[in-house]
Amino acid sequence: MVIEKIFGTCIRNIPSTENVLYLTFDDGPHEYCTPTVLDLLARHQVQATFFVVAEALQRNLSVGRSIVAQGHHLGNHSLDHKYHHFFGNDRYLKKWVGRARDFIEQSLQVQTIGFRSPLGIQTPHLRMALRDLQYPLVHWNQRFFDTQRGLPRTAILHRVPQFQSGDILLLHDTHIKYGHSFLEGLEFLITYTKKVGFTFKVIPSDLVPSNLEVTARCL
């Protein structure tokens, strides 16, 4: 608790007894890839959370509106996805994160659920900035390295048996390199996890420490 007072909250999973998983997609919205992901999610009636980059949203505002219209939630994946900002102090980072939050929320008239830093980078100054903004750091505890190797069935078959209720899955909606095979992998991931009894939910927009038993911390 002392750590949270100094550095703010970091969430990697949301423990639950409901057999629920949280799909998250980073780095969009992408002009071509995001709509294909949205179509697939709609066909399977799955809700997800999209951690958007403000500059990408500015270029693809109509795609952002489609994300919201389909009932998915939005998170903040920074203004520009550049890493040099992490050399800044807490005041600087507060402005960087806050500008992205304001842009996303004002453009789409939504509440963002929190911040996910590019590459998962964390610094004490970032944690202090988020604490001041009262904005949780929302990372993940299951990843597939899909930007490097797509989403092959072998990886899914290996990983799904390890899933626990409340896990947050990291994927990307910028799969231009893997195209159709990524979508096939995503469809297999969704159908397989449903078959073994999981459902999917959006990450709630009221992630405050008092509402949540945070079992895994990022420090």
Which window, 7-15, 18-26, 159-167, 188-196, contacts Zn ion (CB under 5 A)? Answer: 18-26
Contact call for residue 173 and Zn ion (CB under 5 A): no
Nearer to Zn ion, 142 or 198 (CB): 142
Long-range CB contacts (within 8 A, 24+) of 173-176 = 173/25, 173/26, 173/27, 173/28, 173/29, 173/30, 173/33, 173/34, 173/37, 173/50, 174/27, 174/28, 174/30, 174/33, 174/147, 175/33, 175/146, 175/147, 175/150, 175/151, 176/30, 176/32, 176/33
Nearer to Zn ion, 170 or 198 (CB): 170
Which window, 92-100, 113-121, 129-137, 140-148, contacts Zn ion (CB under 5 A)? Answer: 113-121
Contacting Zn ion within 40-99 (CB under 5 A): none
Which window, 112-120, 141-149, 183-191, 200-208, contacts Zn ion (CB under 5 A)? Answer: 112-120
- Closest contact distance (angstroms) between CB of 117 and Zn ion is 8
Residue 62: left (phi > 0), alpha (psi -120 to 50), or beta? alpha
Contact call for residue 26 and Zn ion (CB under 5 A): yes
Q: Residue 107 belongs to what H/E stretch?
A: helix 90-108
- Closest contact distance (angstroms) between CB of 130 and Zn ion is 17
- Closest contact distance (angstroms) between CB of 148 and Zn ion is 13
Residue 135, helix vs strand vs coil: coil
Residues that bind Zn ion (CB under 5 A): 26-27, 118
